[in-house]
Chain A
């Protein structure tokens, strides 16, 4: 089990995360939801050991992840929010770099890469450099790189960004299947519909604090609201959407 205990992250005087505590269990998809600046990305970066928390700890099976970082990393797959890749490499070259860094056996690596490229519909572009890939194609390469080594924990930050409808449907099912196999999946997104379809439990963040933490059904039932969209609006106290859109129109015309 992956557990975050009283995570706090400060940037100078600004507190990006405040006393965040949650668990991600095998067999479930834990959703991180929140408006811009709510602390989702900071949480993801701490879970992937890209940032250290100012206070608190992340543990895997009771052991602090920073105590044996190489071991933790070997079990982790990560899809970042921004598809920053070495654009002068081809798709297979990038996956080979990742596979070798991950020590995927050489005999299996090329076959695995070919299968991923085919299944993700990017095989025909295998000789093109990543600079010519669309955002969706890059996203597929990132997803393949994240699971190439058969990880136990998968952290996905806006993984469907730029994907076409059919690829997004396949990958939603894939994320569910990862959890069904007993892996720990953490899923961060702005897209409420996707979170509602994919996640078993959600944590709703606002200003670095947890404002909601339960399954989608129970959140809806507790707040007596018809959808996750309404739950979200209620918990993060979104201001009047119509008023803001009218203000935007006024600003545009000024």
Chain B
């Protein structure tokens, strides 16, 4: 049981990008740091507003209810933050949230009771939830309790601390259980491809939610626009329900107000339903996978073919058949592999969040709207480039080493064509909607410039190299990404079209030159397995 539990926990971080325990611990620490940082920023943003309300009430310049109003606003934001971060972490472990065919084919023949396997899996899921939720909400609850019980005594300190912890952990549990349910439902009735696409979309959605929420929500709070918020609408939002739970746990008089009683009931009901659904769906998914352990998997599905994008890529690649083959390979890999999709989805979400924040907080909303398609395009290309470094079925990379007979330039052309085909159409359409035909042409040219420039930084066939952690050097190069992103969105559109086309031409020629240095040879170590055989021979024969 303990061994199974550990195995299921280890599955949450498994993948071709994590090849050692050290890397796994580093990845986990990086993820926790990434999701905790927005929480700290959030605390810095919301508490000055709360403290100003306290001062105004104590100076008798505002009604006493204002403190509770602001308190609930802070709770609302911490609950939403908890849901977004725990949801994001859950989507990182998306593939391991439900039983799959491999679990069934490995565990099925072993003399282990089904109940033991299910219990171990549910315990592993609970450990992931509790570990993440505690890491995300613990510090916030501590700060919240001390900050909001000032002048109110020890009882308020405990009540606020327990209240916020229960509310935020409850919110996290609801979103986590809902994601587990969705994953199990897709395992039951969907196919691998639909599950992969849903996972990547959710991952992107949670990144977007987290960034947007942290940047925009406090702004809304401080601008005095809450009068515009409809109670009927907000009461339907799940993160609002847990404010009712908070009021109930801290025994506030407001818990008996009809609106808070309704919120509390919704929170309790949603928690019970989501946990029950997750348990039921997990058990059903286990039985289903056990029954279908060795049956063939599904067809790729319509989305997995990416026909239109591939046709465009072949068009862009021109008559170079090897380039068309590489472009096809790149796009099919992106369309069918969740590890690669996740990188693209998260970076697109960063671009979308940046664009939305610009619209919400920028001085010139019209300029921010026009910049949005280019911001998303820039980050989509960054995401694609990051995905190229993630290996896909590394042992199969021999196919390029054996079959690629041409020089390296077709590979440069193929990768460029795949980036252009992936990013250009949605960018041009969005640019046409927000800025008209001329702007769309300009945006298309910018995408070509970015794609051509990005190819200059890659010197291998995508997905065919072992993963090297930290290749993007985000820790040291983030200002570069930020400056390039802003320049793409706000400076490049002001350049005349001829300058963009000329720039693309120069980069194209550079890429062509650099293409001669490309390698189609995955690491020779991949083929050196005979070393092990020879060692076996030495051991067996005593040579």
Q: Check if A and B associate.
A: yes
The interface of chain A, by Cβ under 8 A from chain B, is 11-12, 14, 16, 36-39, 41-42, 45, 48, 50-51, 70, 73-74, 76, 78, 80, 82, 84-90, 93, 96-103, 106, 127-129, 131-132, 145, 207-208
Residue of A nearest to B322 (CB): A101
With both chains docked as a complex, state the minimum distance between the C-beta of B144 and any C-beta of chain A, in angstroms: 46
A11-B528, A86-B392 given; 6 more Cβ-contact pairs under 8 Å: A50-B401, A84-B393, A84-B395, A88-B393, A128-B296, A129-B300
* A88:B336 contact, CB within 8 angstroms: yes
A38 and B543 CA atoms in complex are apart in Å by 12
Residue of A nearest to B329 (CB): A97
Q: Which of A41, A80, A103 contacts B406 (CB 8 A)?
A: A103
In contact, A145 and B403 (Cβ under 8 angstroms): yes
Given the contacts A36-B533, A42-B530, A103-B406, A50 and B333 also touching, CB distance less than 8 Å? no
Distance between B530 CB and nearest chain A CB, rounded to angstroms: 5
Complex-state Cα separation, A145 to B393, whole angstroms: 18
Tally of A-B Cβ pairs under 8 angstroms: 127
The reply to whether A14 and B535 contact each other, CB–CB distance below 8 Å, is yes
Let me know if B297 and A129 touch, CB within 8 A. yes
Nearest-neighbour CB distance to chain A for B104, whole angstroms, equals 15
Q: How far is the CA of A90 from the CA of B307 in the complex (A)?
A: 14
Q: Per-position contact with A for B381-414: 1 when CB-CB < 8 Å, else 0?
A: 0000000000011011011111111110000000
Contact of B325 among A82, A97, A131 (CB under 8 A): A97
Considering only residues 344-370 of chain B, those with a C-beta below 8 Å from chain A are none
Interface contact A45-B404, CB-CB below 8 Å: no
Q: What is the CA–CA distance of A42 and B537 in the complex, to the nearest angstrom?
A: 14
- Interface status of B29 (Cβ within 8 A of chain A): no
| 27 sampled A-B residue pairs with Cβ under 8 A | A14-B534, A36-B533, A37-B540, A39-B530, A50-B398, A70-B405, A70-B406, A73-B404, A73-B405, A76-B402, A82-B395, A84-B393, A84-B395, A85-B396, A86-B396, A89-B332, A90-B299, A98-B399, A100-B321, A101-B404, A127-B299, A128-B299, A132-B297, A132-B298, A145-B399, A207-B541, A208-B534
A-B complex: 9 closest residue pairs judged by Cβ atoms: A37-B537, A100-B325, A132-B296, A84-B395, A88-B336, A11-B531, A101-B403, A74-B405, A84-B396
Contact at A41–B533, with CB atoms within 8 Å?
Answer: yes
Task: Report how many residues on chain B are interfacial, defined by Cβ distance under 8 Å.
Answer: 45
Which residue of B is nearest A12, CB measured?
B531
A residues less than 8 Å from B337 (CB atoms): 88
Say how far B536's CB is from chain A's closest CB, in angstroms.
Answer: 6
Interface residues of B (CB under 8 A from A): 296-300, 304, 321-322, 324-325, 328-329, 332-333, 336-337, 392-393, 395-396, 398-407, 524, 527-531, 533-538, 540-541, 543
Closest chain A residue, CB of each to CB of B101? A131
**A134 → chain B, closest Cβ, in Å?**
9
Which residues of chain A are within 8 angstroms of B404 by Cβ–Cβ distance? 73, 101
Q: How far is the CB of A88 from chain B (nearest CB, A)?
A: 4
Inter-chain contact A84/B398, CB cutoff 8 Å: yes
Q: Which of A36, A70, A99, A132 contacts B407 (CB 8 A)?
A: A70
Given A16-B534, A37-B537, does the pair A101, B527 have CB atoms closer than 8 Å?
A: no
Alpha-carbon distance A11/B536, docked complex (angstroms): 13
Find out whether the CB atom of A37 lies under 8 angstroms from the CB atom of B536: yes
Query: Are B393's CB and A86's CB within 8 A?
Result: yes
**Chain B residues with CB below 8 A from A14, complex form:** 531, 534-535, 538
Query: Contact between A51 and B531 (Cβ–Cβ < 8 Å)?
Result: no
User: When A14-B534, A207-B543 are in contact, do A101 and B299 touch as well, CB less than 8 Å?
Assistant: no
Compute how far the CA of A14 lies from the CA of B400 in the bound complex, rounded to whole angstroms: 29
Complex alpha-carbon distance, A16 and B540, angstroms = 15
The chain A residue with its CB closest to the CB of B304 is: A88
Minimum C-beta distance from A241 to chain B (A): 15
How far, in whole Å, are A131 and B297 apart by their CA atoms in the complex? Answer: 7
Asked if B392 contacts A11 (CB within 8 A), the reply is no
Q: Which residue of A lies closest to B327 (CB)?
A: A100
Contacts of A50 in B (CB 8 A): 398, 401-402, 524, 527
Q: How far is the CA of A116 from the CA of B278 in the complex (A)?
A: 46
A36 touches B536 (CB 8 A): yes
A residues in contact with B396, CB < 8 Å = 84-87
Residues of A within 8 Å of B524, CB to CB, are 50-51
* Closest CB in chain A relative to B200 CB, distance in Å: 14
A86 to B329 alpha-carbon distance, docked (Å): 10
| Other-chain contact of B534, A11, A93, A132 (Cβ < 8 Å) | A11
Closest to A148 in B: B403
B395 with A73: CB separation less than 8 A? no
Query: Could you tell me the distance between the alpha carbons of A207 and B530 in the complex, rounded to whole angstroms?
Result: 12
CB distance from A32 to the nearest CB of B (A): 13
Q: In the complex, what's the smallest C-beta–C-beta distance from B351 to chain A, in angstroms?
A: 26
Nearest chain-A residue to B397 (Cβ)?
A: A84
Contact B534 A37 (CB under 8 A): yes
A68 to chain B, nearest CB (A): 11
Q: Are B402 and A78 within 8 A (Cβ)?
A: yes
List of B residues within 8 angstroms of A127 by Cβ: 299-300
Q: A88–B333 contact, CB under 8 A? A: yes
What is the minimal beta-carbon distance from B334 to any residue of chain A, in angstroms? Answer: 11
Q: How far is the CB of A6 from chain B (nearest CB, A)?
A: 19
Q: Cβ of A36 and Cβ of B537 under 8 Å apart?
A: yes
CA distance A128 to B337 in the complex (A): 16
- CB pair A90–B300 under 8 Å, yes or no, is yes
CA–CA, A41 and B536, complex, Å: 14
Interface centre among B297, B403, B529 (most CB of A within 10 A): B403
A50 CA to B321 CA, complexed, in Å: 23
Q: Which of A51, A70, A89, A127 has the most CB of B within 10 A?
A: A89
Asked whether, in the complex, the Cβ of A98 is within 8 Å of the Cβ of B403, the reply is yes
* A12 to B530 Cα, complex, angstroms: 12
Contact B296 A100 (CB under 8 A): no
Give the complex CA separation of A128 and B336 in angstroms: 13
Q: Which residues of B contact A100 (CB under 8 A)?
A: 321-322, 324-325, 328
Q: How far is the CB of A130 from chain B (nearest CB, A)?
A: 9
With the chains together, A98 CA to B405 CA distance in Å? 10
